Homo-oligomer: A and B are copies of this chain.
C-alpha cells in the first residue's frame, strides 16, 4: 500500500457512500433486533457454512490458486486455507457467540435523584463498525458474528488475496440474516480489490462509527494515521515480565518460560524479561537454560552477559533498539534492573502499554506495580499470554486495544456498544 493508493477518488467515495447508506439503514433495524433473531442468525449461519462446505472450498480454491501464481509464501497460503478444521472453528465460534448474553438494552446504575427523576445508563450498539483485516478469511465470520450479536451493522474489508473466500462467507451471513428476518445489509463485504476504498471507508464518519483494524503493524499504523473515524486498535505488543527480588523463582521461571515460548507470534507474548539484581545470579542461569534448550536467542545487557558466560550459556549483546522491538519470534531481550522503580521506568520508556506482569511474593510491590504501570493489562504472578478476551471471560474478542479512551485491553461485545443515559420521570421539571 503506498501513500497515493489510499487517497480516494470520487468513484471510490461513491462506492463507500452506497455501502454506508445501506449499512446505516440496516444498523437502525439491528439496534432494535430481538436477542432471539440475532441468535437465530448466528446458528443459521453455522448451519449454512456446514451445508455449503463444498461451495466455500471452491471459492477458497480460487484464492489459493491466485496466491500460488502470485508466489505467496507457504505460511501465507496456509493462513488463507479454509480447511475443515478452520470451518469447524468458525461454526463453533458462531455457537459460542450465540450463547453469550446480549449486552444491548441492559440498564445499569439506575438511581433516583433529588429532583425525583430516575437516571440510569442503557447499553446500546455503536451503529456501523468497519473491520479491516488481513489474510485469514475466518475473521469474516468471527467479526461479523460479534457485530450482529452487539446489534451493529458491519462493513468488512478483508485482504484482497482472500476476496473469493470472504465473499462466500459473507454471503452465508447475509442469507442467515434474511432467514432470521433481519436485513442482509447488516453484513457487507467490500467486493472490489481497489485499495483506495479503504481510504474512503476510514474517512467517512458520516457512515462509520468506529474502525477496527486487525493485522500487521504497518496496516494498523497507516489506518490510525489516516482515519477520520475513531479506531479500536493496538500497534505493538512489547510486553514485559519483571522478576522481583521477592519472587518465587520456580514460579518466575514457569511464567517467564510460558510468556515467551508458549507461542511466539501473539501480541501478548513477552518480548523483554526484566530481572531484579539481587536474584539475577540465582534466576538467570535457570531461565536461560530453558530458553537455550528451546532455541530462543537471548539479547542481553552486560550484567546478564557475565552471569550467562559463567554458566556457559551463549547470548548476544543487546542494543538500545532491542528494548523497543516486538520480535514475534524466538528471540528475547533480557535486562537486569535495580528494583521496582527502575523496572517501572523501563516499562514506561520502552513498553507499548499492552500487557506487563510482575512476579513477586511482596504485597506492597505487587500493588504498586498494578497501580503504576500504565498498560491495558497489568498482571501479578501470571503469564502475559492470558491477555485475551476468552481468558479474561469476555467470551469473545474483536481485538485488543492499547488506546486509553473507550475500550482498553481485550475488546469483547461490550466494546462494540456504548451507554446512553435514560431518564424515567413522572412529569418533573427543572427548578433552577
A405 touches B126 (CB 8 A): yes
A408 touches B419 (CB 8 A): yes
CA A127 – CA B157 in complex, angstroms? Answer: 33
Q: Which of A85-93, A163-171, A296-304, A372-380 contacts B (4 or more CB under 8 A)?
A: A372-380
CA A383 – CA B406 in complex, angstroms? Answer: 29
Nearest-neighbor residue (CB-CB) of A24 within chain B: B348
Majority DSSP secondary structure for residues of A touching B: mixed
Q: Which of B115, B230, B392, B425 contacts A380 (CB 8 A)?
A: B425
In the assembled complex, how far is the CB of residue A106 from the closest CB belonging to chain B, in whole angstroms?
12
Q: Which of A194-202, A254-262, A284-292, A315-323 contacts B (4 or more CB under 8 A)?
A: A254-262
CA A353 – CA B391 in complex, angstroms? Answer: 36
A219 interface residue per 8 A CB criterion: no
Q: Which of B115, B381, B428 contacts A427 (CB 8 A)?
A: B381
B420 touches A382 (CB 8 A): no
CA A385 – CA B418 in complex, angstroms? Answer: 23
A177 interface residue per 8 A CB criterion: no
A124 interface residue per 8 A CB criterion: yes
CA A105 – CA B368 in complex, angstroms? Answer: 11
B418 touches A382 (CB 8 A): no
Chain A positions 107 through 132: 1 when the CB is less than 8 Å from some CB of chain B, otherwise 0: 00001010101010010101100000
A248 interface residue per 8 A CB criterion: yes
Shortest beta-carbon contacts, A-B, top 7: A382-B425, A258-B429, A379-B423, A251-B427, A385-B430, A381-B425, A405-B406
Residues of chain A at the chain B interface (Cβ within 8 Å): 28, 31-32, 105, 111, 113, 115, 117, 119, 122, 124, 126-127, 209-210, 230, 248, 251, 254-255, 257-259, 262, 348, 357, 359, 370-372, 374-383, 385-387, 391-393, 403-406, 408-410, 418-430
